[in-house]
Chains A and B, each alone.
Chain A
Amino acid sequence: MHGNNDLSIFPTIESYSYMSPKRRYFLTGLLSIGGLSGCLHTNQREDERQTDSTDTTGADDDPTVLQSRLSEGEPVVTDTTNESTTPIRSEVITDSAQPDELSIAPGVSDNDRDEIRTFLEETEYTTDTVFITHSRIRSCYRYQIQSISWDETEIRYRYCRELRPPEATCQTETWDSIGLLFRIPAALSSAASLRGTRGSSPCRDSSTTYDQIDATATVEGNTTAVESPDTRRNYSGELP
Chain B
Amino acid sequence: MSRRLTRRQTIAAVGGGMFAGCLGEPQFWDDPPSFDTAGLDTVLDELLPDRSQLIPAAFESAVAAQFVDRVERLLDPIPDPVSESTLPNSAFRKQITTERRAAREQLPTTHADHPPFEFAERFAAARYHAAVAVGTWAVVTTDGDPAAITDGTETIRSRVNQFGDTLPGIATCPAGGAAVYGSIERWLDVAERRTLTGSTTVRDEDDPLRAGRTVGQLERIQSQIEAGQYLQARYLETVDEPQPIDAALHTEVETLADDVEAWKQELYDREEDILFRVPDTEVFFDTQPVDENAPSLRLLSRAVRRTFEDIRFDPVVVEGYEPSHPATALCRTMLALARLSACEKLGTLIEAGEDLFPPDGATVDVARQEAIDSVANAAAADNPLRRWFATQMLPLFEKPEEILAAASATTREIVEAYTAYRWIQLFASETEAVVSTVSDGLGA
Contacts and interface: CB of A to CB of B under 8 A. Distances in A.
Interface of A: 1, 139-141, 162-172, 202, 204-206, 210-221, 223-226, 229-233, 235-237, 239
8 contacts: A210-B139, A212-B142, A213-B86, A213-B140, A214-B141, A217-B138, A220-B73, A235-B166
Interface in B173-226: 204-210, 222-223, 226
Contacts of B86: 213, 215
Contact of B226 (A141, A215, A219, A229): A229
A8 B428 CA distance: 60
Given A211-B142, A215-B143, A219-B73, 15 more contacts: A140-B90, A163-B209, A164-B89, A166-B89, A205-B205, A213-B86, A213-B87, A214-B141, A217-B134, A223-B149, A225-B70, A225-B123, A232-B236, A235-B169, A236-B169
A139 B431 CA distance: 50
Interface string B133-167: 01001111111111011110000000000010011
Contacts of B67: 225-226
B89 A215 contact: no
Majority-rule SS of B interface residues: helix
A170 B145 CA distance: 24
Majority-rule SS of A interface residues: loop
Contacts of B226: 224-226, 229
A181 B404 CA distance: 53
Contacts of A140: 89-91
A161 to B, nearest CB: 10
Contacts of A218: 77, 143-144, 148
Contacts of B66: 225-226
A211 B211 CA distance: 13
Given A162-B207, A218-B77, A211 B140 contact: yes
Interface string B50-89: 0000000000000100110110011011110000101111
Contact of A219 (B74, B141, B166): B74
Nearest to A205: B205
B157 to A, nearest CB: 15
Contacts of A139: 90
B170 interface: yes
Contacts of A205: 205
B19 to A, nearest CB: 44
Interface string B241-266: 01010000000000000000000000
B230 A226 contact: yes
B88 A168 contact: yes
Which 8 residue pairs across A and B have the least CB separation, nearest first?
Answer: A217-B144, A235-B166, A237-B170, A229-B229, A217-B138, A225-B70, A140-B91, A166-B140
Contacts of A223: 149-151, 222
B306 interface: no
A156 to B, nearest CB: 25
A235 B234 CA distance: 11
B127 interface: yes
Contacts of B207: 162-163, 202
A233 B222 contact: no
A163 B166 contact: no
Given A140-B89, A224-B226, A231-B233, A1 B140 contact: no
Nearest to A171: B90
A233 B236 contact: yes
A163 B222 CA distance: 29
A229 B169 contact: no
Given A202-B207, A211-B140, A239-B242, A221 B236 contact: no
Contact of A232 (B77, B229, B233): B233
Contacts of A226: 63, 66-67, 226, 230
Given A171-B90, A213-B87, A224-B70, A206 B230 contact: no
Contacts of A235: 163, 166-167, 169, 229, 232
